[in-house]
Amino acid sequence: MATAFIGLGSNVGNRKEHLGRAREQLGRIPQTKRIRFSRWIETAPMGGPPQGMYLNGAVEIQTALEPETLLLRLQEIEQLLGRPKRHARWGPRVIDLDLLTYDDKIVQGPDLILPHPHLHTRPFVLAPLAEIAPDWIHPVLNQSAKELLEALVHANH
């Protein structure tokens, strides 16, 4: 079984309800089990049109699915929960599920990049990840989630 981390976000409607439903659906993915959840944190949107505040979090899972198959399952959950297949880049969303990491795999494909290419630059991703897996090591940058978050916080002050 591989360990993967998934970032969750919502800034439309009842954000906690959407995130709770997404977390529940993650537990229904075949050959996959949820291990740990972060708390929800409220964050300002980055870029895009004017929009409401996000709630963000992270979930650690173990899965026997390959990364590409897992990504498809995440996209299916997004659609099930009301996210249109086509959506505005950086626009408001009912639910956003990002495959952040999959073991220590490094993937550079047209539909999937692992680890997530912006993981280390986004506090709304790193804070929940560092909460549940502070010692996770970024396979490209060779720094822990905690170190990456500390560097990001330091750089923004």
Catalytic residues: 83, 93, 96, 98
3-state secondary structure at position 102: strand
**Shortest CA distance to 58 belongs to which of 80, 43, 76?**
43
For residue 66, give every residue at least 6 positions away whose Cβ sits within 8 Å of its Cβ, in sequence order, or none.
Answer: none
Distance CA(119)–CA(139), nearest Å, equals 12
Contacts of 15 (CB under 8 A, 6+ apart): 40, 54, 55
Task: Give the angle subtended at the CA of 79 by the CAs of 99 and 107, to the nearest 5°.
Answer: 25
